[in-house]
Structure 1
């Protein structure tokens, strides 16, 4: 399929950088209009990218499930850790209450503290009524220390505030942006990627979207459209050579899943548990030194799942009422998660360029032409590329 035959929102980022479909990579399922997590009604995403001098390659990504004005309105939520060598704050409360009310941010490993503070600052300034109770922000991270001066005080609370302020609907920039700026994936430049799938449910249509911060995997593992391309791309792999300390495949992956389908908190957790299947399609086996942590949320049922201080005795109508998809009909939503996660990872890889960072460390970009050649020569893919 030629790039010109694809909707621009599927083939290229707003900057014009190609996405995975521009390489002819075949994917299952029907994407939304932007093929992004922002296809889910109400979801907004913002990036702040920090590229300064020779050593700063980092940033912050913010996701607002219901937009800035509706911060504080709960969403059903659940989380899952495939491998716990990482951090996602606020998960104890998500596990307890089954809900999420605040912006979610993703950054680098050593910047979780200032970003956490930044979310609190933003909420205090914009929703002071929420700040008068308690705030348990969700901040997740992956390690960008190969390209970035990760222990320097480069990410500050105001960068989280700015990322939240920049959050918007519409097509998203991918690759080396926001929290994904300094990240690597399968020995190539990785970072931020997104995709979505539309799920038919009787007369209704729902969207499942994925946003990944991809910083994981060894070159030999990389798989695209079922083809083990990484085995044939062993050249130009500086990340698995030299004297730096992290083993190949280290770094982590954060995935956020959003949907407008009406789900219970336990069903959101079930979506999060399907994320590793989508990641596995791209080749990873989930290494010990990779923090693989996933969050899923539903924007349906506004007004339910609130945890506020009671001011009076309950009345006869003081109950939460949640509409939900029956458990026996969840399979199509699981499938959408797997499909969207797989494509989001490949978008993060394809929509990228080579980057050099601290100490002269260099990460090459995925070689588009070579990938096309490998896919075109494979019997199961030949004719679709």
Structure 2
């Protein structure tokens, strides 16, 4: 595995999305009880892939399901377990993300984890999503094993997750640049008590990068990338919150997560499988927030997803992969110059 190079997040460069404050880590792990783990496979040549797991610690003895919903922006993808989430409105497992042709092995591995936790269970619904990292990684080798998945799930922590070229984002590209995993959060003041909204992204989709309304096309910022610009194919978005919401309301959150892709220039192409999963960790004794009070929660979803998408690009590093293809990192200095000239930096 190649050593990771630390690159600043969008906010570190003065790129601030929206007016709501972030949580302490500005990450999905700011939602109490939500953990994230990565397993990364990177041989420096033709394998750049991995596993990212979002693990709600509230799932356990006494509570084996959380309110949840899935929204499909474009269904050209594989989200194993999504139909049951849509039918029953509950999440019964950690959410695992990986590369396209490894999704089925990952689902079987997650099933092993669930069966070990509930030896008497007869039905399980592992939820596993993917994006296609075949531009940089040899997807036909299907390198993900059960051990990779179990390590990501059992090693998940409440710290700020690593971003960029890590886990399921190791080999992904978006909006013409090298991308990967990104995360962000928002603290939302509400009538009775504040709530937190967090997002984690596996970005791998097409379009022209736009930050705070300023276009940052790869052809202009990285001219040598013209012939190596990867095709866009998919985005997985996970939204977590401790706001008490039911499955219907969570689907409204998931829908807005897909809308947020448009803020950064997504093309929503035919081959892009764009999915959002939203779940609530609030205790079952709390009544859902009235719909009329959801506007600040909607704003938090839009802003946290937008910033997580930007973080997935700003933290990624240039990567050479299978077939000699290269996905170039977003050049910070050039991007900052354009944003400063437009008066958008904080």
TM-score class normalised by the smaller sequence: over 0.9
Q: Hey, what does 2:241 align to over in structure 1?
A: 259
1:226 pairs with 213, 220, 234, which one? 213
CA distance in 2, matches of 1:197, 1:250: 28
CA distance in 2, matches of 1:189, 1:340: 20
Relative to the length of structure 1, the TM-score reads 0.84
Q: CA deviation at 1:165?
A: 1.2
Q: CA deviation at 1:53?
A: 5.0
Q: CA deviation at 1:69?
A: 4.9
Q: CA deviation at 1:52?
A: 1.9
Deviation track 1:329-378 (CA, whole Å, cap 9, x = no partner) reads 11111110000000001101111111111111111110000001111111
Question: Per the alignment, in what secondary structure is the counterpart of residue 17 of structure 2?
Answer: coil
8 Å CA contact 1:72, 1:102 repeated in 2: no
Alpha-carbon spacing, 1:71–1:62, altered in 2? closer, same or farther (3 Å):
farther
Question: Per the alignment, in what secondary structure is the counterpart of residue 344 of structure 1?
Answer: helix
Which deviates the most, 322-331 or 181-190? 322-331
Relative to the length of structure 2, the TM-score reads 0.94
Cα RMSD (Å): 1.9
Q: Hey, what does 1:119 align to over in structure 2?
A: 110
Alpha-carbon spacing, 1:178–1:371, altered in 2? closer, same or farther (3 Å):
same
Alpha-carbon spacing, 1:239–1:151, altered in 2? closer, same or farther (3 Å):
farther
| Aligned residue runs from structure 1 range 181-330, under 5 A | 181-218=170-207, 221-230=208-217, 232-233=220-221, 235-238=223-226, 240=228, 249-302=231-284, 323-330=287-294
Q: CA deviation at 1:26?
A: 2.3
Over 6 Å off, 4+ runs: none
8 Å CA contact 1:238, 1:362 repeated in 2: no
Q: Hey, what does 1:25 align to over in structure 2?
A: 15
| Aligned residue runs from structure 1 range 1-385, under 5 A | 16-28=6-18, 29-52=20-43, 54-66=45-57, 69=60, 73-129=64-120, 132-218=121-207, 221-230=208-217, 232-233=220-221, 235-238=223-226, 240=228, 249-302=231-284, 323-378=287-342, 380-381=343-344, 384-385=345-346
CA distance in 2, matches of 1:32, 1:217: 29
Question: Per the alignment, in what secondary structure is the counterpart of residue 194 of structure 2?
Answer: strand
CA distance in 1, matches of 2:314, 2:130: 22
Alpha-carbon spacing, 1:161–1:284, altered in 2? closer, same or farther (3 Å):
same
CA distance in 1, matches of 2:62, 2:34: 11
8 Å CA contact 1:195, 1:209 repeated in 2: yes
Alpha-carbon spacing, 1:38–1:113, altered in 2? closer, same or farther (3 Å):
same
Deviation track 1:226-285 (CA, whole Å, cap 9, x = no partner) reads 1112274361225656xxxxxx64210000000000001100000000012211110113
CA distance in 1, matches of 2:247, 2:222: 43
8 Å CA contact 2:59, 2:65 repeated in 1: no
8 Å CA contact 2:59, 2:93 repeated in 1: no
Give unpaired runs (5+ residues) of structure 1.
1-13, 242-247, 303-320
Alpha-carbon spacing, 1:270–1:171, altered in 2? closer, same or farther (3 Å):
same
Question: Per the alignment, in what secondary structure is the counterpart of residue 67 of structure 2?
Answer: strand
Which deviates the most, 58-67 or 100-109? 58-67
8 Å CA contact 2:37, 2:156 repeated in 1: yes
Instruction: Say which one has the larger Rg.
Output: 1
Give unpaired runs (5+ residues) of structure 2.
none
Q: CA deviation at 1:67?
A: 5.5
- Count of paired positions: 341
